Structure 1
Amino acid sequence: MKKIFLSVVILFTSLLLTAQQSKPVNVAGPKAGMLTGVVLEGVSNTPVEYANVALYSKRDSSVVGGTVTDSKGVFKIAKLAPGPYYAYVKFIGFETELINNIRITPGEPNVDLGVIRLRPGAENIEGVEIVGERNQIVYKLDKKIITPATIISSQGGTAVDVLENTPSVQVDIEGNVSLRGSENFMVLIDGRPTPLDPSDALQQIPASTIENIEIITNPSAKYDPDGTSGIINIITKKNMLEGISGKINVNADTKGAYGGDGLISFRNSKLNAFVGINYNQRVRTGHRTLENHNIFNDTTLYTLTEGDRGGGRLSAGIKAGIDYSITDKDIISINGRVSQMAFERNSTNNYTEYSLPYSSAYELISISDDNSKRSHDFYSGNIMYQHLFNDDGHKIEASVNYQAGTSDDISLNEKTTENGTLLLGQKSTEIGEDRDIRIKVDYVYPISDKYKLEAGYQSRLESEAEDYLYYEADLSTGEYINIPSFNNNSAYTRNIHAVYGMFAGEYSKISYQLGLRGEYTDRVMEHEGDDEPFTINRFDLFPTLHTAFQLPAEQQIYVSYARRIERPRNWFLEPFLSWMDAYNIRTGNPELLPEYIDSYELGYLNQFEDSYFSFEGFFRQTHNKVERTRTTYEGNIMLNSFENVGTDYSTGVEAMYNGKLTKWWTLTATGNLYHYLVKGELYGKEFEQTSINYGGRLSNTFTISRNTRMQLDGMYRGPSATAQGEMKGFFFSNLSLKQQLLDRKMTLTLQVSDIFGTGKHEAYIYGENYYSHYVFERDAPVFRATLTWNFNNYRPDRKSRNGESGDGDMQIDDF
């Protein structure tokens, strides 16, 4: 899948250059000829999907036609006039194949070139020295596909480090990820959901275990409609060579982070089995300042906070699985995972409190030690069965996915005077259990070469239960005593049943796909102390449309629409009060409505010599917009919650350029610009906030020698508005060096993150009778080293057994 756009780039180049340099074809005779063939990988004999086939006239070397191969490696070029031709078959990472002496005649109008085998050109396989380079980003009609191996700065990091260099994605300096300005998106791992919040899930996946990342901003009806801004699908590595092979990575940095992972695989003609293990400890430290103003009548209370903050993330786990071909048309896959995650945060803050007009009652200098730890242990299992009715893509697939886990949170906040006298002690614990069962059936029926029908059913059965206990310190003894009035427990169940249908077709140079998904949601939330549970029984429809227009010189325009939903997370709804620290308290809002999103996109792709350019325009409207809110709770204590604030509108453009400036210098430049408007009513008052948001990235890759590459990246994210204030912009840059050793069996990567220490998170929040200014600056730069060893010629499988990269892959461009 990652090769798709790379292959299209080659085809665009050949067609564009020839079209610009040559006269139109002048071949006499009726255009009834047809050229067909099959393209396979020379090493593994597997089909090469999206290989480019460009056909030229021998009479004047003008381009006659071109196409790309389908999932079986098959290609077809029709409406050919009689005459002599030659063809080039090209695919990034493979040597170009020239097929000469092709002749179409009235007596033999159909020519079958048979099997064309491409020789590899991008790796060291079975002792053969191969030179080449894979592209960082591949564009498909409905997604962008990111290749982590090409992003040197992500080596030894996580999925978040990969996404720092990805179009449509923004990452702040605390590792929080947003997709087109929204933190509400869905994360899938190999097409299956994760129980974690999106940013937490991405920060626990090692970059070295990822084959590619799919960015899907307007998913088709086959996908779950959850997520304001779309889906990020993580495709993990699997081996494609027969026999035993594997890969081991170890890493460490100057802030105390360290870790490693390994994967070993066995494969033959019937069976593919793998076992993987990972352990990674991440460390993030920095400095925080916060200024709060709380106004009461004619008095303003000031609270100034300054201190150091540290944090760590532990992720460890083991996974295993097998794929077995029962027959040529029946495949069964079984895999499982056991994981442990822990998130720890600690800080020591100096507080200065005073009032204007001055009053000694509000004057205080204190120190607060805040410590929290959250752990989540979970396990999951999946079984999938696929039956192929024939070789034209007619198939049915059924799967069951089960995952369950336990969580344990503990928080301790102690506030003391400068001489160590305890002024306040707060401790809370929260223990929870969760379970998620998904049953899914997908059916694909190709009506003809140009038309395809898909349909499916899915059930999502989710449940959670949590117990919360709150303690305060006895200031005379230091003993922590439970406060029953703050204790709470909650139980949450949500069952979603869905059906969908899609129809895809082709007319002339237009490809299209229509989809409709219907979902029934049954949700019950019970909370201690409430007489009646909070319930939802609702049926929703989610239409989708994807269309592509083929332009001259193989340029392409695509248009899409999708309706989506963002359902409130469980802890957004919990109606009880819980203390965050001495100055912040939090409560959920069980009356929250889900967000409904209408998303429109218009895109353009073009290819030039050794480069390509893409341009995307988008408009997204979110109804029942949910935002985090802050109000005064009591004195200088702030209440944090969630509200439906109204409607927001995002209208913007994204552009990307990738090209070789010289033989040794490749540049990737991306930029985005969009207008953001949010308006509605909050706490009885109407509001309207607008901002012009912009940002960009530059990634420079320098090929120093056959075994040495260097990468220099820079990223800027501009300021943006919120319902209660604004976020300031920031910039940072990274430098990486990759050196291959021991006949390319081992790789050493050295990195420097945030070279100039410019990354920071700054926000202003305004409200009636209060004001906040927050700044967090991480400790930088950070130096990291990663060592990778491949044994027995490990090669990642670049597509799954059925030719798709993950669950719900849209095949509109197969025609």
Structure 2
Amino acid sequence: MNYRFIFLSILLLATQAVWAQKASITGIVNDKSGNRPLEYASVSLFRNSDSSLVAGSLTDAKGNFLLEKLAPGNYYLRILFMGYTTRFVGNVSVAAGQRLDLGVRLLEPGSSMLDQVNITGTQQNAINRIDKQVYRAGQFESAKGGNAMDVLKNLPSVSMDGEGGISVRGSSNFLVLINGKPVVTDARTVLSQLPANAIEHIELVTAPSAKYDPDGKGGIINITTKKGATDGFSMAANVMGGLPSTGDHGNKEKPKRFGGDLTVNFKKGKWDVSAGGNYTRNDNAGYREGDVYTKNFTTGMLTRFPSSGERSFDKYNYAGRASATFSPDSANTFSAGAFVGKRYQARLADILYHNSASQIGNGELVRETTYFNSNLQTRYGNFFLGNIDYTHTFRNKSTLSASALFENARLYGNTRNKNLAYPETGEVLQEVYNPYENPIKGYRLKLDHAIHIGKGKLESGYQFRHDTQEGTFGYSVTPATSQPDADRFRGSASAANRIHSVYTQYSGKLEKLEYQGGLRYEYADRTVWLSYDPAPHRLDLSNLFPSASLLYAIKKDWKVKAGYSKRIQRTNNYELNPIPEREHSETLEQGDPDLLPSFIDLVELGTVHNFKKGSLFGTLYFQHIKHPIQRVNSVYADTILNRVFTNAEAATVFGLEAGANLEPVKWWSLYIGGNVYNYRIKGDLTILGITSSVNNKDWVYSINTNSNFKLGDGWSMQANINYLSVRPTAQGEDSRFLVPNASLKKTFFDGRFSATLQWQNIDLGMQQTQRQRITTSGRDFYTTTNYIYETDVFLIHLGYNLNRLSGKSKLPASEIGDKEF
């Protein structure tokens, strides 16, 4: 099978190489002040005789543009980019079959860009393209000093719940790219380690092409990080500190919040070297209230165990990144990067339980007891990875790229669950201890080729992914109990994943129509080995993933687009591990080694409108999901619920997302985005061998707004709101979730220094912010838990920038290990 993939990949690449190029005009558009590439600059070609438009193009990430299929004649060019002076290039003559290279063309910043106060206001905050929406991260001041999730949650189709889970169009499963590199990891974990200050742009790809990995039913989020913009030395430094807490949740200790990040870049001649580091301590105070009951129809007993108490987090992470790019000539580029990081999280749940048992028939009380449960879950992650990349550009402007990435991660920790007497908590009634060690190794190899054919570009490539995980899990109970299935709670669980894939796609432009279509083939095999099961659990998959996108300009300021993409939501090793962990006094967590991946068909239809005071867009979308992965509950014992992963039969999502960027007046800019969809899940659920049916549906909506006010003399103010409505689940619903924020910023010394006061999770005693209730029920159980998080948090953020940082930096990020943290 391996040789077939390699042969097919080489055949595709060889086929492209025989295509010949036709007459065209090429060039590069750079910023004159720093000689850095300008991505998304508009290049238009006009006929000299009548000034009619002949062709147009947008520059890529390196500032390159290409105009093809041109008739002989005399032309002139117009180059546009928001915030820069328009440039015209005259006397452009093209002969039959000629390939004219105009070299580097420089754009000067406009007068508004040179005004310190107007710098951020005149930059494009959002750009809509055929396959993605691009957002400038700097517009969200409330995210400063935070991480990538604090930026992401403001986008129109993105929402964040009380547990910090990010969703795109209602799905928490999506693929994360860092500077175009896939990160096959749990999104929340990897994004929490990337400082918001290091992000330049965020690209949201909701119907991805065949070029991308098909992972993630919600699509793809590509994060572009900053690097040096000019030759010489560039540096950006930020520090953050939290003011004393304004509220008291009765937690054992006050949360600590402080941190900083530093990014340096040296760019000279053939070398471009970047390094960055960050440390963040960001504890969270909190409280939870729960009510649970189970029914035992054999004994006729109803058991209730309501609870309340502390639920807080101590969290820190630190990391160092470095990369170097060497370009010996215009045809060859070498780059390498390394990442070393550590993440720590301790979740303390000190909960008071009031247990009671009564007869189901007459409600007669049989017994009751009160006890105190202290549950400390500690997780550590040590990460190391390195990557090497090489790109060769041929004379016909086609490119061949090869890359390799390796990761080694050590994941370890434990859960210590103590049941204590009450009110005298010195006596330990029972202690359950779950230690684990879960190292991961993985690598990825890629080969890609791109060539311009006709008015478009043909891209093909091959990729191989491989990762292994060797988990060892312990379990002990003090004092010892007679538990018949105790051996199932300890042992080892190992998993290996191998994926071969090959793709080809073609994209181009025909007058007012932009188009893109492709096909990806993938063979994947997954094996899970368990210490208590001699037979391995295997899954082999062979699938095609087609994609297509269209963008048509109805007239100058109106465009419509349509797209289709087939996706897959893969299982991770946490979801596959069936060895139970005593997550809480009332909960056992476990996976299913035979869990199936989900397959998703995505269809969307939208429109984009640009006008003098801003832009707006709207997109209708539909998803059909086969075998959606669900996390559900069942009864393990009278006072313990099993929380397991399983597949439902099918689910559908139909929705509308919309967004607008407005600048009604020069001192006020407004961004607003929203998403509303109908989610329905139906079919059979199999929970630990017991099958039941589910049919749940409801409407869900989210709203994200961000408003900026320029107050003059370097002062600015911002306010934003993130709201997520009630959401249906397989066995119940999650409540609405509200987070308002505000910030006040002052810049000094031509914008090199900045000071920002942030007011996060605004509540003002109304008890509406940062609260989420999760409710599930079944034939023999009911559970509802209200999570109450810290509100009215004040932070001070200080920043320094020596020369501007922007553009793409190839600092690597975690590829596999964060997924299982």
Q: TM-score, normalization: structure 1?
A: 0.87
Q: Partner of 2:189: helix, strand, or coil?
A: helix
Report deviation, 1:54.
Answer: 6.9
The one-letter code of the counterpart of 2:414 is: I
CA distance in 2, matches of 1:214, 1:93: 20
The residue aligned with 1:618 is: 621
The residue aligned with 2:792 is: 781
- Taking a change above 3 Å as real, the CA distance of residues 673 and 286 of structure 1, as seen in their structure-2 partners, is same
Query: Would the aligned equivalents of 2:130 and 2:514 in 1 still touch at CA under 8 Å?
Result: no
Q: Does 1:732 align with 2:743?
A: no
The residue aligned with 2:41 is: 51
State the aligned residue count.
759
The residue aligned with 2:311 is: 309
Report deviation, 1:245.
Answer: 1.8
The one-letter code of the counterpart of 2:196 is: A
CA distance in 2, matches of 1:782, 1:114: 52
- Taking a change above 3 Å as real, the CA distance of residues 113 and 684 of structure 1, as seen in their structure-2 partners, is closer
The one-letter code of the counterpart of 2:397 is: G
1:324-473 equivalences in 2 (<5 Å) = 324-357=326-359, 362-390=367-395, 393-416=397-420, 417-420=422-425, 421-448=427-454, 450-473=455-478
Q: Does 1:529 align with 2:532?
A: yes
The residue aligned with 1:794 is: 804
The residue aligned with 1:765 is: 776
Q: Does 1:547 align with 2:547?
A: no
Report deviation, 1:126.
Answer: 14
- Taking a change above 3 Å as real, the CA distance of residues 518 and 143 of structure 1, as seen in their structure-2 partners, is same
Report deviation, 1:195.
Answer: 6.2
Which stretch has the larger CA shift, 400-409 or 50-59? Answer: 50-59
The one-letter code of the counterpart of 1:539 is: S
Q: Does 1:582 align with 2:585?
A: yes
Which stretch has the larger CA shift, 566-575 or 460-469? Answer: 566-575
CA distances 1:152-203 after superposition (whole Å, capped 9, x unpaired): 0000001111012112111113311111111111222233344642111111
CA distance in 1, matches of 2:749, 2:476: 58
The residue aligned with 2:818 is: none
Report deviation, 1:293.
Answer: 1.5
Q: Partner of 2:517: helix, strand, or coil?
A: strand
Report deviation, 1:74.
Answer: 4.2
The residue aligned with 2:147 is: 158
Which stretch has the larger CA shift, 182-191 or 494-503? Answer: 182-191
- Taking a change above 3 Å as real, the CA distance of residues 622 and 250 of structure 1, as seen in their structure-2 partners, is same
CA distance in 2, matches of 1:234, 1:596: 25
Report deviation, 1:647.
Answer: 0.4
The residue aligned with 2:561 is: 558
- Taking a change above 3 Å as real, the CA distance of residues 497 and 104 of structure 1, as seen in their structure-2 partners, is closer
- Taking a change above 3 Å as real, the CA distance of residues 335 and 742 of structure 1, as seen in their structure-2 partners, is same
CA distances 1:651-697 after superposition (whole Å, capped 9, x unpaired): 01111111112111111111111111110112433221110111212
Q: Partner of 2:170: helix, strand, or coil?
A: coil
Q: Partner of 1:684: helix, strand, or coil?
A: strand
Query: Would the aligned equivalents of 1:437 and 1:460 in 2 still touch at CA under 8 Å?
Result: yes
Report deviation, 1:117.
Answer: 2.9
The residue aligned with 2:247 is: none
The residue aligned with 2:599 is: 596
Report deviation, 1:475.
Answer: 8.5
Report deviation, 1:576.
Answer: 2.1
CA distance in 1, matches of 2:294, 2:549: 50
- Taking a change above 3 Å as real, the CA distance of residues 115 and 530 of structure 1, as seen in their structure-2 partners, is closer
CA distances 1:444-465 after superposition (whole Å, capped 9, x unpaired): 11123x0321110111011000
Q: Does 1:693 align with 2:700?
A: yes
Report deviation, 1:146.
Answer: 2.5
Report deviation, 1:58.
Answer: 12
Query: Would the aligned equivalents of 2:225 and 2:807 in 1 still touch at CA under 8 Å?
Result: no
Q: Partner of 1:343: helix, strand, or coil?
A: strand
The residue aligned with 1:643 is: 646
Larger RCO: 1 or 2 (CA < 8 Å, sep 6+): 2
**Unaligned 5+ runs, structure 2:** 1-23, 244-254, 816-821
CA distance in 2, matches of 1:730, 1:128: 35
Which stretch has the larger CA shift, 434-443 or 355-364? Answer: 355-364
Which stretch has the larger CA shift, 466-475 or 327-336? Answer: 466-475
1:665 aligns with one of 656, 665, 668: 668
Q: Does 1:91 align with 2:81?
A: yes
The residue aligned with 2:13 is: none
Report deviation, 1:280.
Answer: 0.8
CA distance in 1, matches of 2:522, 2:184: 20
Query: Would the aligned equivalents of 2:121 and 2:669 in 1 still touch at CA under 8 Å?
Result: no
- % same residue: 29
Q: Partner of 1:533: helix, strand, or coil?
A: strand
- Taking a change above 3 Å as real, the CA distance of residues 114 and 403 of structure 1, as seen in their structure-2 partners, is closer
Query: Would the aligned equivalents of 1:543 and 1:562 in 2 still touch at CA under 8 Å?
Result: yes
CA distance in 2, matches of 1:501, 1:517: 7
Query: Would the aligned equivalents of 1:122 and 1:134 in 2 still touch at CA under 8 Å?
Result: no
CA distance in 2, matches of 1:126, 1:700: 21
Query: Would the aligned equivalents of 2:226 and 2:809 in 1 still touch at CA under 8 Å?
Result: no
CA distances 1:192-232 after superposition (whole Å, capped 9, x unpaired): 34464211111121111222222222211111111121122
CA distance in 1, matches of 2:570, 2:68: 47
The one-letter code of the counterpart of 1:676 is: Y
CA distances 1:530-588 after superposition (whole Å, capped 9, x unpaired): 12110122211111111221211242111111111111111211122221122111221
Query: Would the aligned equivalents of 1:315 and 1:339 in 2 still touch at CA under 8 Å?
Result: yes
- Taking a change above 3 Å as real, the CA distance of residues 371 and 36 of structure 1, as seen in their structure-2 partners, is closer
The one-letter code of the counterpart of 1:410 is: N
1:63-462 equivalences in 2 (<5 Å) = 67-71=56-60, 72-74=63-65, 89-97=79-87, 116-121=105-110, 133-194=122-183, 196-254=185-243, 255-297=255-297, 298-357=300-359, 362-390=367-395, 393-416=397-420, 417-420=422-425, 421-448=427-454, 450-462=455-467
CA distance in 2, matches of 1:753, 1:651: 32
Report deviation, 1:743.
Answer: 2.9
1:740-755 equivalences in 2 (<5 Å) = 740-755=747-762
CA distance in 2, matches of 1:528, 1:751: 51
CA distance in 2, matches of 1:373, 1:698: 36
Q: Does 1:40 align with 2:30?
A: yes
- Taking a change above 3 Å as real, the CA distance of residues 638 and 589 of structure 1, as seen in their structure-2 partners, is same
- Taking a change above 3 Å as real, the CA distance of residues 799 and 428 of structure 1, as seen in their structure-2 partners, is closer
Which stretch has the larger CA shift, 368-377 or 208-217? Answer: 208-217
Which stretch has the larger CA shift, 539-548 or 754-763? Answer: 754-763
Report deviation, 1:628.
Answer: 0.4
CA RMSD of aligned residues (A): 3.4
CA distance in 2, matches of 1:126, 1:709: 14
Which stretch has the larger CA shift, 398-407 or 143-152? Answer: 143-152
The one-letter code of the counterpart of 1:620 is: Q
- Taking a change above 3 Å as real, the CA distance of residues 577 and 48 of structure 1, as seen in their structure-2 partners, is closer
The residue aligned with 1:506 is: 509
Q: TM-score, normalization: structure 2?
A: 0.86
Report deviation, 1:114.
Answer: 8.6
Query: Would the aligned equivalents of 1:676 and 1:692 in 2 still touch at CA under 8 Å?
Result: yes
CA distance in 2, matches of 1:246, 1:513: 39
Query: Would the aligned equivalents of 1:520 and 1:540 in 2 still touch at CA under 8 Å?
Result: yes
Q: Partner of 1:593: helix, strand, or coil?
A: coil
Query: Would the aligned equivalents of 2:44 and 2:55 in 1 still touch at CA under 8 Å?
Result: yes
**Unaligned 5+ runs, structure 1:** 1-33, 477-481, 802-806, 808-815
CA distance in 1, matches of 2:70, 2:534: 73
The one-letter code of the counterpart of 2:745 is: K
The residue aligned with 1:605 is: 608
